[in-house]
Structure 1
Amino acid sequence: MKLRELWLSLSEDDRKALAVKCRTTYAHLRNVVYGKSCSAKLAVDLERESDGRLKVEQLCPGVDWAYLRKAS
């Protein structure tokens, strides 16, 4: 699933709740949905809070996630 798909499937209240769970603001999360780059921290939070429907590799492709996943 892509972040924008998830975002569009949520109500505004659910979007705001997702932002709080990810320890960011609604406005920042909306900016990421519509093209601003996603930090590695936010990518991890989004994968966790989406129950794995979103993947860090897709959200923040500049990080060597395969290496990090092996390290855990």
Structure 2
Amino acid sequence: MEKLRQFLKTMTPDEQKHFAAKCGTTINYLRKRISDRSSNLGEKICIEIENQSCGEVRCEDLRPDVNWSVIRNG
């Protein structure tokens, strides 16, 4: 989640809102998940974050507990 936090820091608040919307969520939801280390983002949002960040924030950065190679190759 640290990569997502750093990625969002490079954006203005409006850019953050737009990015979150393109990922299918809100910036408040992303901030909550970043700050609450006991909760995880859903796989779908992880995939959208990777896509919308052009690979700067990878699914593996967000959810290292998921076997992404199986999902990617499935």
TM class by shorter chain equals 0.7 to 0.9
Q: CA deviation at 1:51?
A: 0.4
Question: Is residue 49 of structure 2 the alignment partner of residue 46 of structure 1?
Answer: yes
Q: CA deviation at 1:7?
A: 1.1
Residue pair 1:7, 1:33 contacting (<8 A) in 2 also: no
> Identity of counterpart residues, as a percentage?
31
Q: CA deviation at 1:37?
A: 1.7
Unaligned 5+ runs, structure 1: none
Measure the CA separation in 2 of the matches of 1:27 and 1:21.
14
Aligned to 2:31: 30
User: What is the correspondence of 1:1-72 to structure 2 with a 5 Å cutoff?
Assistant: 2-35=3-36, 36-71=39-74
Deviations 1:3-51 (A, max 9, x none): 1110111100000001110111221011123234211111001000000
Q: CA deviation at 1:67?
A: 1.2
Unaligned 5+ runs, structure 2: none
User: How many residues are paired up?
Assistant: 71
Q: Give the TM-score normalised by the residue count of structure 2.
A: 0.84
